[in-house]
Structure 1
Amino acid sequence: MNIEQLLSKLPEFGHNMTQFARRLGLVQAGLTVDHIALRVTEKQDADHLLTQFKKRGKILSDKIINGRPIYLIELDEPLNVADWQVSVVELPFPDGRKRRDGWEHLEFVLPCEAITADQMLKAVRQLPVITAKWPVIQDSTLGIEVKTSDSKADDEPVANPTVSFKQEQLTIKLHPYDIRQVIGAMPV
């Protein structure tokens, strides 16, 4: 896999993510896209993509999380993902699981004071667009899986509790801070 292949798939990914975000009501909520994430199953592909992304931007973070490197790269020129401009790419190196390579998820910022996953879920559920749909989201009528997670590395200045919505191969994640704030690359 190379960067040209990824970029050629970005319009379809953006269209699918827009449809999913509309279905959840997040387009109407006007949330900001924080970053886009990839999935790569072969280390040589991840190495190649990292080299290519470094030519298009700078590494903000290169941490080992759950035993594998995960890079955040801020691009010099943002990607157009449907109607969103996205300047940060998350490139996790393979973890041994076989998955579909390519664009995997978008992360949105829902500004709030949540510091735990439960608090973040409560903030998400208070969005009027989500409140109205919550019964059919929660009971899986829409085929959407909801997960929460608490994640904060020791050296990160703020917690980043997350609520994830997954439908088939698409995932949308919501968290309270811009990823650059979470890693300490910009003020909170």
Structure 2
Amino acid sequence: MSIATAVLTASLAMAPAAAPAMGVQCTGVTVRAHFAASPTGEAVTYDQALVPEGSRVTVVEKRYGSGKDARTSVSLRLSGLVPDRTYGAHVHTKPCGPKPNDSGPHYQNVPDPVQPSTDPAYANPRNEVWLDMKTDEDGRGSSTATVAWHVRYGEARSVVVHEHGTHTEPGQAGTAGARLACVNVPLA
């Protein structure tokens, strides 16, 4: 088992189960890991002052319904981070790598033809998965985003933790500062 101690329950390996109280089929992916300075693990930290090595991350993605009833829910839980601090986080298109920008741009349901995308018509929480959070006094935080679509297979590969909350104004929409850490997530 690697330092990252990742537990993956991919939708291909998991039989669909009925979602409680909703009666619709659900598939999902769960990743649990510890951030490491090595870019070869499931979770990498690029800034150990703000995302210390050994801090923990859990990402849970669930898909519900289909067609016009399609929904995707992504939850992010972090612990061991700087207390009382706001972090931005988004789903990105590529896996984590040795450099922060290796994870590519934000995943967008309707891709902006201009990249990097800062147009609020595309860079918004209805077209992307935004998981901003504020940590508590113990350095723990969590966030969940639900969108009215399914992630296209193979086009979303990681969740990136950013320096601050996500901007919404034109010319800055979707930006959240430096990429502090990244976790590989084979989103279904």
TM-score by length of 1: 0.29
TM-score by length of 2: 0.29
Higher helix share: 1
